[in-house]
Structure 1
Amino acid sequence: MQVIFKIKRQTLRQPSHEQTYTLDIEPGLTVLDALNQIKWYHDGTLAFRKNCRNTICGSCAMQINGRAALACQNSIRQELAQAIAPDTITIAPMGNMPVIRDLVVDMQGFWQNLGAVDPYVSAPARQLGEGEFLQSPRDREKLNQAGNCILCGACYSDCNAREVNPAFVGPHALAKAYRVLADSRDQARGDRLEAYNNVQSGVWGCTRCFNCNTVCPMDVAPLDRISQIKGAILETKTEDNTVAASALDRPLRHRLVLINLVKEGGWIDERKFGLRVLGNGFRDWRGLGSLIPLGARMLGRGKFPFRFHPSPARGVIRPLIEAVQSWRKGGSRVKS
């Protein structure tokens, strides 16, 4: 069948342009097969990365039809089914990384951010001399999903948080961070949680857009791993469940206030939420001041919540939350 490939081409620090190639190609072949045909028979100047061709190495990650994907993974037929224009597939370099040439991007920042989370089992745990450091099948199973990451860069490419916040390390790094955090052999859990508990670069920099989960070719679900790290931080900071929200960092206070308000009213009382999180219960005057422009805009648009109506199901919701909290604490009753 005849397929049109529109490829975004660019050289370092130069404006990009779109180039169109029309191929007669079998729909069962992959996008990488099509790129090879263009490279070998039509335009030898086209630059892209490839290696294994078996969804193992992650080298051929690029944006296909507007999302990050591996060129070797989906067939042309599958990509056409998702395309906006009939018989047309658009291809561009990955996002959030400088373009070196055509579909080849500079991944230096990607690797630096991975190293920033120290994604290795702690040094004391590795000082074993001769022998093996065995794990139980149950402990090893905890690492399987996060361990499937092939570091292709797809999640990093489509991460909205990276786009607006250059300090954010990226979902790939935090997925690897969770893999080490869940490793029973690691001996630096406390230090790791402190390092990941950061508003800008750590887990609280995530905007929860779900893009990383959507584009991950290996079903690592980076957002889920980030949420698990958040849960571990929250449990560590409030492990006796008596710590006041005012004593916590803003990200942790955000989570605890949200849970407590849902327990109180069945859903969130927006009036109290801002005051308790940003204003820290009238303790943070700068935070309170930041609420004034938002409140003014809400008033101007008639959206300021003067009243709060508790959920009719709050009597059911509170026991459910407490049951989950109790289960996560190993069966001990949680104080409200």
Structure 2
Amino acid sequence: MEVTFKVYRYNPEVDEKPHYEKYTLDMSDDGVILDALNKIKWEIDGSLSYRRSCRHGICGSCAIKLNGKNVLACKTSIKEAVEMFGDTLVIEPLSKNKEKVIKDLVNDKKDFWDKNAKVKPYLIAEIDEHPKSENLIKPALVEMIEEADYCIACGCCYYACESVRANKDFLGPQALAKTYRFTADVRDEAKKERLELVDKLGIGIWDCVKCQACIEVCPKGVDPFTKITHLHNQVFEEGVAKRNVATKHAEGFVHSIKKHGILDEGMLVLYSEGVNVVRHMPEAMAMFMKGKIKLPWQMPKSEGLEEIQKLIEISQTHELKD
């Protein structure tokens, strides 16, 4: 199978700007992208730089961008990639920000690892230094972690995240999923401390824009977005959530659905922001003229409202403030 690989090349020490080089290779049908990178480096151009280690989808070091999607080079079939993207495959680093490119496909991931370290990605508990048996927990309690421990810290989700791109302080989906891995672990004794960190505006769970790109690119099926949603619930359940525009926005959803069965977008903003809602008046008027929002007395009630209210009562885990 003849395939053309268009590879991102950039050496800050000698190149004025990045460029792409094309390599046409004869690859076997069962080959993966890492095989192509190895073949280029070993047989054609030894100056090509990229990261690799285990080749088994465990270390996460070979994460790259393939035709715009973050993937693991060692787990991505060339044949399937050609079927999806055509016979020219574009290989780039996870971030093309020139300040983050060390060389070619190798990124400086210091920001990623700093945020990973910030959430203390390890069990915190007072334990016997010389235990005589394992600290076992029941299977049902293990299931509460929901595969968050499958994360290999490859960075695919982090470098696909729109919130990270817009806000350099945002912890990102990997660090937040890692936080949930321990807040869901009954053996961990730092749950409140962890939740207090991710509850902070500007860096934590409230700054996720719910684009769900992290779900699409995670090679291990961790689903960071759902873990972030669980953290939203936990900060309320544990009494950690601070009263601010973000938490009021979350509560406003419940109030609105409980009252109407559907979302009252206009009142949601008013509930969330109070008097500061005046800054949104131009947008509110435009939405009103388009029928996107309604006046309070115009709001319809959903069919089966009583059933919806019962479901909320059953599932609600904390008391809402008025």
Question: With structure 2 as the length reference, what TM-score do the two structures score?
Answer: 0.90
CA distance in 1, matches of 2:240, 2:304: 27
Moved over 4 A (4+): 299-304, 333-336
Show CA shifts across 1:136-182 (max 9, x none). 13333433601111111101110111001111011111111111111
2:305 maps to 1:317: no
Q: Which residue of 2 aligns with 1:137?
A: 138
Contact 1:3 1:22 in 2 (8 A): yes
Q: Is the 8 A contact 2:199 2:240 kept in 1?
A: no
* Residue correspondences, number: 314
Structure 1 equivalent of residue 231 of structure 2: 229
Task: Indicate if the aligned counterparts of 2:164 and 2:171 stay in contact, CA closer than 8 A.
Answer: yes
Contact map agreement 1:96 1:162 (CA 8 A) in 2: no
Q: Partner of 1:289: helix, strand, or coil?
A: helix
CA gap of 1:128–1:89, structure 2 versus 1, over 3 A, is same
Give, in angstroms, the shift of residue 213 of structure 1.
1.0
Partner of 2:281: 292
What code does the residue aligned with 2:218 have?
Answer: C
Residue pair 2:66, 2:90 contacting (<8 A) in 1 also: yes
CA contact (8 A) 1:269 1:308 kept: yes
> Matches of 1:167 and 1:335 in 2, distance apart?
30
Q: 1:334 to 1:254 in 2, by over 3 A?
A: closer
Q: Is the 8 A contact 1:198 1:205 kept in 2?
A: no
Q: Which amino acid aligns with 2:95?
A: G
1:305 partnered with 2:294: yes
**1:30–1:74: 8 Å Cα contact kept in structure 2?**
yes
Q: Secondary structure at the match of 1:200?
A: coil
Letter in 1 for 2:12: L
Give the direction of change, closer, same or farther, for the CA distance of 1:275–1:144 in structure 2 (3 Å limit): closer
Name the SS for the 2:294 alignment partner.
coil
Distance 1:228 1:312 in 2: 28
Q: Which residue in 2 is equivalent to 1:266?
A: 261
Q: Distance in 2 between matches of 1:214 and 1:140?
A: 25
Partners of 1:11 and 1:199 lie apart in 2 by: 37
| Gapped regions of structure 2 (runs ≥ 5) | none
Q: Is the 8 A contact 2:261 2:308 kept in 1?
A: yes
Instruction: Name which of structure 1's ranges 193-202 and 160-169 shifts more when overlaid on structure 2.
Output: 193-202
Corresponding residue number in structure 2 for 1:108: 110
After superposition, residues 1-336 of structure 1 pair within 5 angstroms as 1-12=1-12, 14-83=16-85, 86-95=86-95, 98-122=100-124, 125-131=125-131, 132=133, 134-138=135-139, 139-143=141-145, 145-237=147-239, 248-279=243-274, 285=275, 287-298=276-287, 303-306=292-295, 307-325=298-316
Output the CA distance in 2 between the equivalents of 1:3 and 1:81.
Answer: 11
Amino acid at match of 2:255: N
Instruction: Tell me: CA distance 1:80–1:206, structure 2 relative to 1, closer, same or farther (3 Å).
Output: same
Of stretches 202-211 and 94-103 in structure 1, the one that deviates more from structure 2 is 94-103
Distance 1:19 1:238, change over 3 A: closer
Cα distance, 1:238–1:310 mapped onto 2, change above 3 Å: farther
| 3-state SS of paired residue (1:309) | coil
Kindly indicate whether the alpha-carbon contact (under 8 Å) linking 2:195 and 2:240 is maintained by their aligned counterparts in 1. Answer: no
After superposition, the Cα gap between the structure-2 partners of 1:209 and 1:116, relative to the gap in structure 1 and judged at 3 Å, is same
Percent identity of paired positions between Structure 1 and Structure 2: 35
User: For the Cα contact (< 8 Å) 1:250–1:277, is it kept in 2?
Assistant: yes
Over the aligned positions, Cα root-mean-square deviation in angstroms equals: 2.4
5+ residue gaps, structure 1, are 240-246, 280-284
SS in 2 for 1:237: coil
